[in-house]
């Protein structure tokens, strides 16, 4: 599966502002959008990359619009940090073999 990475993305900048973070990656479908970080930064951090790739997997599992809806509802109910999709992505950060199934462009 091919994944795209876009640097200097407005969407990621807005997410960074909302979460009060200096750097940000936000995944939509099979594209990872970055703010204040480069593709090299993301690829050099296997933990961060695994986290974002888990979100790609979640989009594929639930479907584009259904995932966005479920993610939004989960965030409203439990907040960003306790959102079940974020918990699953954080758990993926330590799965050593997780990266083997992806090709990142």
| pLDDT tens sequence across 14-58 | 999 999 999 999 999 999 999 999 999 999 999 999 999 999 999
Mean pLDDT of the chain: 93
Q: Above pLDDT 70, what percent of the chain?
A: 96
Distance in angstroms (rounded) separating the CA atoms of residues 9 and 36: 9
Domain ranges, residue 83: 4-101
Mean predicted confidence (pLDDT) in 65-76:
97
More confident residue, 2 or 9: 9
Position 105 scores a pLDDT of 62
Dihedral sign for Cα atoms in the order 93, 99, 45, 39: negative
The CA distance from 71 to 73, in Å, is 6
Q: How many domains does the chain have?
A: 1
d(CA 58, CA 75): 15
Q: Which pLDDT does position 30 carry in this prediction?
A: 96
Q: Between β-strands 2-6 and 103-104, what pairing exists: parallel, antiparallel or unpaired?
A: parallel
Count of CA atoms in the C-beta half-sphere (13 A) of 98: 21
Residues 35 and 19: their CA atoms lie apart, in Å, by: 12
């Amino acid at each position: 599966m091919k994944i795209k990475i876009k640097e200097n993305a407005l969407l990621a900048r807005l997410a960074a502002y909302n979460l009060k973070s200096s750097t940000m990656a936000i995944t939509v479908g099979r594209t990872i959008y970055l703010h204040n970080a480069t593709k090299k930064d993301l690829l050099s951090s296997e933990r961060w990359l695994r986290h974002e790739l888990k979100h790609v997997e979640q989009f594929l599992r639930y479907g584009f619009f259904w995932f966005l809806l479920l993610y939004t509802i989960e965030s409203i109910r439990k907040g960003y940090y306790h959102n079940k999709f974020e918990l699953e992505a954080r758990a993926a950060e330590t799965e050593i073999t997780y990266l083997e199934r992806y090709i990142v462009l």
